[in-house]
Amino acid sequence: MTRRLLILGGTAEARGLAERLVGRPGLRVVSSLAGRVADPRLPAGEVREGGFGGPAGLAAWLREHRIDAVVDATHPFARRMTASAVAASAETGVPLLVLRRPGWRRRPDDDWRWAATLEEAAALLPGLAGDGGRVFLTTGRRSLAVFAGLDDLWFLARSVDPPEPPMPRHTHVVLSRGPYTVPGELALMREHRIDVLVTKDSGGEMTTAKLAAARELGLPVLVVRRPPAPDGVPLVDTVEAAVAWVGAHAG
């Protein structure tokens, strides 16, 4: 009997998991993407794109496609999708695993300041960057609106697709997609005479070079804390552990 697995994706870990599982005898794997990135990196195997229509929509989708297990491998900051997966799993009884890579670890020579939310980061930024300060903003194109109004600061905003207004008056956009290298990040930060780096605590290897570059340049980093993992749902932080869970629940 074929078992069916849904991977909620959009991360390197989700692609890694699909890569490991696609082609296993007796297992059908569907990866789901939000459909926001114009040219997404596609996982191996079957892919569907677009929102499900909230928790009820996801629950209906799970029933309709007779899904046996779900791995939520979305980004640690994809709060709504994770909440939706938790609710749909509770409603349908389909087992759910959250695969979330670990957050970054501060080194002794790092100058990190923490913000609970993007909004708090925006409130802290003028004090940290100073008048006319130059900020490297790496929190994603949809976060720019939160920083709109900080018109005394200059922003280098990096994103995969172009951001849309509102955004700070002095914003220079650079479009690119990781992974990044330390020499590349150093060159970018030096070229734009960056004073402060702002990042989410996304974790992972793909975008860690900016932290090493900030360390080398002695720059402060404003780190937005990740939302807490959901209560009462099994949580793993490696693809390996997720593969084992799938073996037990949909193998």
Query: Which residues would be at the binding site for ligand NAP (CB under 6 A)?
Result: 8-11, 32-34, 36, 51-54, 57-58, 74-75, 77-81, 84, 140, 200
Least separation in angstroms between CB 139 and ligand NAP: 7
Cβ closest to ligand NAP, residue 49 vs residue 152: 49
Whole-number Å distance between alpha carbons of 100 and 230: 11
Least separation in angstroms between CB 43 and ligand NAP: 10
Whole-number Å distance between alpha carbons of 209 and 29: 32
Cβ closest to ligand NAP, residue 100 vs residue 133: 100
Least separation in angstroms between CB 186 and ligand NAP: 23
The residue among 163, 162, 160, 161 whose CA lies nearest residue 147 is 163
Structure tokens at 199: 């990042």
H helix runs in the chain, sequence order: 12-21, 54-64, 79-92, 118-129, 144-147, 182-191, 209-217, 239-250
Cβ closest to ligand NAP, residue 33 vs residue 133: 33
Cβ closest to ligand NAP, residue 24 vs residue 48: 48
Least separation in angstroms between CB 208 and ligand NAP: 14
Whole-number Å distance between alpha carbons of 49 and 188: 33
